[in-house]
Amino acid sequence: MAELALGIVGLAGTVDACVKLGKYLVQAYKDYSQSDVKLDELSLRMEICWLRISSQLEVTKHLETEMDGEQKGIQERIVSVLRSRLDAAVILISKPDKYASSKTAKKLYFLSLRDDLEETVAELESWQKRFEPTWFQLVKATPSTTINGMHKSISAGNFRHGTEPTLEAVKFRRAFEDGHGPVFIAEKTLESLEKRTIPYCSALLAVDPTEGKYHIIDTVSTSTVKAKDARDLASRLRDSNPLSSGTLKCKGIVRQPKQSSMAFIFRVPDGYTKVRSLRELLLSGQPPESLTMRLEMARQLVTAVYFVHLYDFVHKNLSPETILSLEKEGERNATVCLVGFQVIRHAEAKTNTSKADRKEILYQHSARQGSDSVDFIMQHDIYSLGVCLLEIGLWEPLITYGPDGTQQTSSIIGLEQNGSETFTPSLVQEQLISLSRGKLRVIMGDKYSKVVETCLTCLDEGNTDFGDPKEFQDEDGVEVGARYVKKVIDIISEISF
């Protein structure tokens, strides 16, 4: 233990200390993994989690010289949290060495700590998910020359830990550079796929009959989405990791001039053969087996929206109809991904518009409804996210569908179905906030309720978290998600049941 208690300060020193503590934990879990089946599973989880953490920490240390004061301060605080958790975990796992007199006694003592050991792994997994968005933001802000140098170091074998996250960082940064290859592919690629509808979603599920691979086809109109925006989005999603970012890998775009449209072809991760929209899940009336699973779905959705913004795009169409749940047969946990890029645009481009319907009155901020002059900004997506988080927490649909497919507002909102005078955007917002403070708070707790309310009031003058659009801009006027990470991802990551 003495050699692990490193009193080093600073980002590089803290990273080195974390790496040493993490190696100790991984080995300790391995040493006792044969004690029973549960510990063997925990050992594997610890090893997989630490492999990703250690690789990302090494990248962070490598990029320290490129960080400004604010970036470095954020990284130091985040890594310090990891250091404190690792210190506590090492103390816990060292108890058998301190109190047990024989090897058998150590194993028995270790077994008595099983619940605590599982909690340690869960905390590290939670920290990694919380750390990852800021890590990608750091990679994005790094000069391409530094990233290229890091890539050469990987090729030369100079990186000590797992290279997968490191290569992921290289690919992510290069996605923002020009000249990253063509994305438009032949129409015959689309024709060869067997297509299936996804209930309550405009995207289609498509299967390659020769390889059995699953794809998602998301068609957009050329009148609302510019070819350049489509090309840039497809290029940036070419190497995305849907399991960590909530954005599917894009195989390419098929032009459909006769239909005045373009079709994104996204890859579904191998093994995920059960694809459903969040709307279908909500309308089924069958909630997830636990609040923990519901919370994890919400966390993944928050991360997915963050990554769309990190790619320099606003989604503009966020609702349960554009959120997909991907599942493997026989497994309980699902992966949440975003589709529905029918009105996607680059964050700096001129806003585009689409015809509003009853659904959009619920999911679109009141400032955007009936107005072509109000540009769509990051906060508008955050408002829509708040509505979706409300539905996930309540597990009740705010929109239902009649037999003829017409949209109806759920009675849970408390608005009259008839009488347009009562169905105003501002009243809808008030009712949604009331639900978050009342029924949602009882079900999901104070922190989750506060996250939803923060999103729903993100453009209100009294909201100090998101109210000022300038808080989302750096010196060059490019929107960034630092406050989004702090106020939404950080808080929702702290929640546990």
Which domain CATH number covers 356? 1.10.510.10
Q: Tell whether 140 and 277 lie within a shared domain.
A: no
Q: CA 496 to CA 492: how far, in whole Å?
A: 9
Query: Residue 11's pLDDT band (boundaries 50, 70, 90)?
Result: very high
pLDDT given for residue 291 in this prediction: 94
pLDDT given for residue 25 in this prediction: 93
Residues above pLDDT 90, as percent of the chain: 44
pLDDT given for residue 362 in this prediction: 86
pLDDT given for residue 129 in this prediction: 86
Mean pLDDT of the chain: 84
Q: Tell whether 164 and 284 lie within a shared domain.
A: no
Q: Length of the chain in residues, anyone?
A: 497
Residue 130 lies in a domain: yes
Q: Tell whether 154 and 291 lie within a shared domain.
A: no
Nearest-10 Cα torsion for 78, 80, 81, 85: 140
Q: Check pLDDT > 80 for residue 349.
A: no
Q: Check pLDDT > 80 for residue 33.
A: no
Which secondary-structure segment (H or E) carries 408?
strand 407-409
Q: Check pLDDT > 90 for residue 448.
A: yes
Tell me the pLDDT tens digit for each residue of 135-180. Answer: 998 898 888 888 777 767 666 665 555 567 778 888 888 888 865 6
Residue 240 lies in a domain: no
pLDDT given for residue 471 in this prediction: 57
Q: Check pLDDT > 70 for residue 58.
A: yes
Instruction: Write the DSSP symbol of residue 143.
Output: -
pLDDT given for residue 171 in this prediction: 85
User: Domain boundary residue among 174, 205, 235?
Assistant: 174
Which of the pair, 187 or 275, is modelled with greater confidence? 275
Q: Check pLDDT > 60 for residue 20.
A: yes
Per the structure, the count of domains in the chain is: 2
Q: Tell whether 150 and 14 lie within a shared domain.
A: yes
What mean pLDDT comes out for the span 104-109? Answer: 70
Nearest to 347 by CA among 469, 459, 253, 178: 469
Least confident range from 91-105, 113-127, 143-157, 470-484: namely 470-484
Domain housing 105: 2-174
Residue 93 lies in a domain: yes
Tell me the pLDDT tens digit for each residue of 336-345. Answer: 999 999 887 6
Residue 245 lies in a domain: no
Query: Residue 354's pLDDT band (boundaries 50, 70, 90)?
Result: very low
What mean pLDDT comes out for the span 467-492? Answer: 64
Q: Check pLDDT > 80 for residue 295.
A: yes
Least confident range from 196-200, 364-368, 440-444: namely 364-368
User: Domain boundary residue among 159, 174, 189?
Assistant: 174
Tell me the pLDDT tens digit for each residue of 232-267. Answer: 999 999 989 898 899 999 999 999 999 999 999 999
pLDDT given for residue 333 in this prediction: 85
Residue 238 lies in a domain: no
Full-model pTM: 0.88
Report the first-to-last Cα separation within the chain, whole angstroms.
32
pLDDT given for residue 142 in this prediction: 86
- Where helices occur in 64-143 by DSSP H, the ranges are 69-93, 95-99, 103-112, 114-141
Least confident range from 129-138, 165-174, 318-327: namely 165-174
Q: CA 336 to CA 327: how far, in whole Å?
A: 9
What mean pLDDT comes out for the span 125-129? Answer: 89
Q: Tell whether 36 and 142 lie within a shared domain.
A: yes
Which secondary-structure segment (H or E) carries 263?
strand 261-267
Location of structure tokens 């975990």: 89
Residues contacting 42, CB < 8 A, separation 6+: 29, 33, 114, 117, 118, 121
What mean pLDDT comes out for the span 377-382? Answer: 83
Least confident range from 16-20, 222-226, 471-475: namely 471-475
Residue 412 lies in a domain: yes
Instruction: Write the DSSP symbol of residue 390.
Output: H
pLDDT given for residue 154 in this prediction: 64
User: Domain boundary residue among 114, 149, 174?
Assistant: 174
pLDDT given for residue 423 in this prediction: 65
Residue 228 lies in a domain: no
Decide if 309 contacts 482 (C-beta within 8 A): no
**DSSP E strand stretches across 99-236:** 184-185, 194-198, 201-207, 214-221
Cα–Cα distances in angstroms (integers) from residue 286 to residues 186, 274, 278, in the given order: 41, 16, 12
Q: Tell whether 353 and 485 lie within a shared domain.
A: yes
Decide if 317 contacts 352 (C-beta within 8 A): no
Residue 204 lies in a domain: no
